[in-house]
Amino acid sequence: MEVFVALVVIVVICKILGVSNFVLILGFLGIIELLIILMFLFFVFHTINLIFTKKKTAEFTKIDTSKKGKFKVAFYKIDGEEYPCVFPKESGFSSAYSTEKTYKVRYSKNLKKVYDIWAVATCIVGLIFSITAVAITISIIRNFEYII
């Protein structure tokens, strides 16, 4: 809510200073492009990190909030140590986690976290969609002079 109020205050100040609507829209689109590029870099980081992980056999232990996190994540036990998953649990697939089964996970020594099958799928799909989003927005920006 605070972000929305701050944006409204910024827009009002810009309008008082005489900034045109075109420049405001262009600035808004620039912020969106920056967020798309940051999303792309986020998925590139996790995909590269995923490449350097080691495959391990793990036991699912629980779903809980990690120490530094805000979201509930799946926890897996590897060699007597419990590690959280990199991404939050899939809320629609809570029945996919079973304490009776062992799972193949990818362990990241740098992050001290694991990538389960859902996290691997998130990395792959997120990377594909973010590459597509960056490519589409860059092509729109290149053709922007023809639109005006």
**Could you give the CA distance from residue 53 to residue 57 in angstroms, rounded to a whole number?**
13
Contact (Cβ atoms closer than 8 angstroms) between residue 120 and residue 26 = no
Q: What is the pLDDT of residue 42?
A: 96
- What's the number of CA atoms in the CB half-sphere (13 Å) around residue 93? 11
Q: CB–CB of 56/102 below 8 Å? A: no
pLDDT in tens, 122-138: 999 999 999 999 999 88
| Residue 35 predicted with pLDDT over 80 | yes
For residue 63, the model assigns a pLDDT of 85
Inform me whether the pLDDT recorded for 53 exceeds 90.
yes
Helix or strand run (H / E) with residue 81: strand 81-84
Band (140; pLDDT cuts 50, 70, 90): confident
| Residue 142, pLDDT score | 80
For residue 9, give the DSSP letter: H
pLDDT at 51 over 80: yes
Instruction: Give the pLDDT score at 146.
Output: 61
What CA–CA distance (Å, rounded) separates 23 from 31?
A: 12
Residue 95 in this model has a pLDDT that exceeds 70: no
pLDDT at res. 64: 85
CA diameter of the chain:
65
Neighbours of 85 (CB within 10 A): 24
Indicate the range of 19-28, 57-66, 87-96 predicted with least confidence. Answer: 87-96
